[in-house]
């Protein structure tokens, strides 16, 4: 066995063991706090709702443990089990070496992964979400979604992969820079067309018509100096009763989207407070910072791929005897997450920092008690646990625990 095989296996084992350990901690922490609603929520959240949140979080965490083990199994089958080599041999029978063979390899692997993922998605939707009363999907919609996603991935992904592979093969030593430019352009294109061309494939969007709410929102937007083309309602209730609101698009396509499930449950003043929080993300440039960060990181990763792709050990260490640009790209997507997993707490930390900053912005531009009551409703309706394991939360949570957020907001209210 080669050195790189050992290094990769060590990283894979370490990442998986950490995920399993964090999941177990989370489970036992939630169980320990299941019998009592945390003091600060005792008035708003019943013991029944607290039990539901605990059981829902535990069900999702247990499923996460299984998914981690399953994913490790798939990675081992693809690499040391000879799966990727087999896929190469199949596509080598279809095409001569080159871009077409590379695209075929990527499509074949993506198709297999999509099929393998169906039972997991099914259990998530019709097992867990259904059991806790959140699921609104029918089996027909479930499969229609898979087919639509696959068609969209093919329409957008195949040309992108073909372009990248062509650049990797033809553009010489600086290919990674050209590939990066293509990647950036592709992402900006998706961001621009997502609200008007992609999102409507999956959901219906109607303009927000409630005159009182509309006036309230427009007043807030004006106060914050924010120009937006459309206020839209999305039929999120087609799939799930979880509520949400988000910003999308940029320039002319910029719009605010409310899930119908959110509008149904929050009072107009609470919706205004939630929107002020979202506006905070925009005004404080969180979105742009995030995009800039992703683009910078992808440039570094492409450079790294350029270095690895010419090394024979990169392939043979993962039990692949058929070096090619497409194979390098695929191996890279398998290998990198195992090595960058230890950085997860850093990205989560920045995300939570941004949430606190957006809360501060909301506190300055909307009512603090309304934001607090909206948050309590959202945590309750989404059955998010109020008692996460602190270490699990530090690793994964993009949003701070409810207790911390609300305690901080109460400080502003005084
Ligand atoms: Zn936020």
Residue 222 Cα to ligand 1 midpoint, Å, equals: 20
Contact by Cβ (8 Å): 213, 271: yes
What confidence score (pLDDT) does residue 44 get?
Answer: 83
pLDDT for the residue numbered 413: 64
- Centroid of ligand 1 to alpha carbon of 277 (angstroms): 6
Q: Which residues contact 139 (CB under 8 A, 6 or more apart)?
A: 126
User: Rounded to the nearest whole angstrom, what is the distance from the C-alpha of residue 278 to the centroid of ligand 1?
Assistant: 6
Q: How far is the CA of 283 from the centre of ligand 1 (A)?
A: 12
* pLDDT of the chain, 414 residues: tens digit per residue: 689 999 999 999 999 999 999 999 999 999 999 999 988 788 888 999 999 999 999 999 999 999 999 999 999 999 999 999 999 999 999 999 999 999 999 999 999 999 999 999 999 999 999 999 999 999 999 999 999 999 999 999 999 999 999 999 999 999 999 999 999 999 999 988 888 899 999 999 999 888 888 889 989 998 888 877 788 999 988 898 887 888 877 766 678 899 998 888 899 999 999 999 989 998 899 988 999 999 999 999 999 999 999 999 999 999 999 899 999 999 999 999 999 999 999 999 999 999 999 999 999 999 999 999 999 888 888 888 889 999 999 999 999 988 889 989 988 866
CA of 362 to the centre of ligand 1 (A): 10
Q: What's residue 89's pLDDT?
A: 95
Output the pLDDT for position 150: 95
| CA-based nearest residue to 276, from 245, 316, 297 | 245
Instruction: For residue 318, give the nearest of 11, 102, 14, 109 by alpha carbon.
Output: 11
Say how far apart CA 104 and CA 114 lie, in whole Å. 15
* CA 22 to centroid of chain Cα atoms: 19
Q: Please list the active-site residues.
A: 278, 359
Q: What is the DSSP letter of 176?
A: H
Residue 354 Cα to ligand 1 middle (Å): 7
pLDDT the model gives residue 414:
60
Q: How far apart are CA 326 and CA 164, in angstroms?
A: 9
Q: How far is the CA of 220 from the centre of ligand 1 (A)?
A: 17
Give the pLDDT score at 326.
95
CA of residue 343 to ligand 1 center, whole Å: 21
Structure confidence at residue 97 (pLDDT): 92
- This prediction has a pTM of 0.87
Ligand 1 centroid distance, CA of 293 (Å): 18
Q: Ligand 1: distance of its center to the CA of 358 in Å?
A: 6
Q: How far is the CA of 399 from the centre of ligand 1 (A)?
A: 7
Phi, psi of 400 (to 5 degrees): -65, 155
State how far the Cα of 287 lies from the Cα of 254, in Å rounded to an integer: 13
Sheet holding 230-234, edge to edge: 205-207, 230-234, 255-259, 245-248
In this prediction, residue 27 carries a pLDDT of 96
**Element (DSSP H or E) covering residue 107:** helix 99-122
What is the DSSP annotation of 269-316? Answer: HHHHHHHHHHHHHHHTTHHHHHHHHHHHHHHHHHHHHHHHTT-HHHHH
Q: Indicate the SS3 state at residue 351.
A: helix
Q: What is the predicted pLDDT for the residue at 254?
A: 78
Q: What is the DSSP string of 202-270?
A: HS-EEE---HHHHHHHHHHHHHTT---SEEEEE-GGGTBS---EEEE--GGG-EEEEEHHHHHHS-HHH
Task: Give the pair of three-digit tokens for residue 286.
Answer: 């969180």
């Amino acid at each position: 066995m080669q050195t790189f095989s050992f290094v990769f296996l060590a990283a894979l084992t370490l990442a998986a063991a950490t995920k399993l350990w964090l999941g177990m901690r989370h489970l036992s922490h939630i169980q320990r706090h299941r019998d009592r609603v945390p003091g600060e929520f005792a008035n708003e959240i019943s013991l029944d709702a607290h039990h539901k949140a605990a059981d829902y979080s535990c069900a999702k965490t247990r499923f996460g443990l299984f998914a981690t083990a399953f994913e490790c199994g798939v990675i081992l089958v693809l690499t040391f089990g000879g799966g990727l080599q087999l896929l190469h041999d199949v596509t080598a029978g279809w095409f001569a070496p080159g871009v077409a063979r590379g695209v075929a390899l990527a499509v074949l692997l993506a198709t297999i992964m999509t099929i393998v993922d169906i039972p997991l998605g099914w259990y998530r939707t019709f097992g867990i979400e259904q059991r806790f009363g959140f699921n609104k999907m029918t089996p027909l919609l479930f499969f229609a979604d898979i087919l639509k996603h696959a068609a969209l991935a093919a329409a957008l992904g195949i040309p992108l992969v073909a372009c990248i592979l062509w650049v990797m093969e033809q553009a010489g030593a600086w290919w990674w820079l050209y590939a990066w430019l293509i990647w950036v352009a592709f992402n900006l294109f998706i961001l621009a067309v997502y609200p008007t061309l992609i999102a409507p494939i999956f959901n219906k969007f109607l303009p927000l018509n409630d005159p009182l709410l509309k006036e309230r929102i427009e007043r807030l937007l004006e106060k914050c100096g924010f120009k937006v083309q459309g206020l839209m309602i999305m039929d999120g209730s087609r799939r799930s009763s979880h509520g949400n609101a988000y910003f999308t698009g940029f320039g002319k396509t910029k719009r605010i989207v409310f899930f119908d499930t959110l509008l149904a449950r929050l009072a107009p003043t609470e919706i205004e407070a939630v929107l002020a929080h979202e506006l905070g993300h925009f005004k404080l440039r969180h979105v742009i910072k995030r995009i800039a960060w992703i683009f910078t990181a992808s440039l570094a990763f492409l450079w790294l791929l350029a270095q690895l792709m010419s090394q024979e050990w990169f392939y043979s260490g993962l039990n692949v005897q058929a070096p090619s640009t497409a194979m390098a790209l695929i191996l890279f997507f398998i290998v990198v997450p195992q090595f960058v997993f230890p950085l997860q707490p850093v990205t989560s930390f920045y995300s939570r920092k941004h949430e606190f900053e957006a809360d501060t912005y909301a506190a300055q531009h909307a009512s603090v008690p309304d934001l607090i009551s909206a948050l309590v409703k959202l945590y309750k309706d989404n059955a998010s646990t109020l008692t996460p394991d602190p270490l699990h939360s530090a690793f994964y949570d993009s949003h701070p625990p409810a207790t911390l957020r609300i305690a901080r907001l109460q400080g502003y209210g005084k």
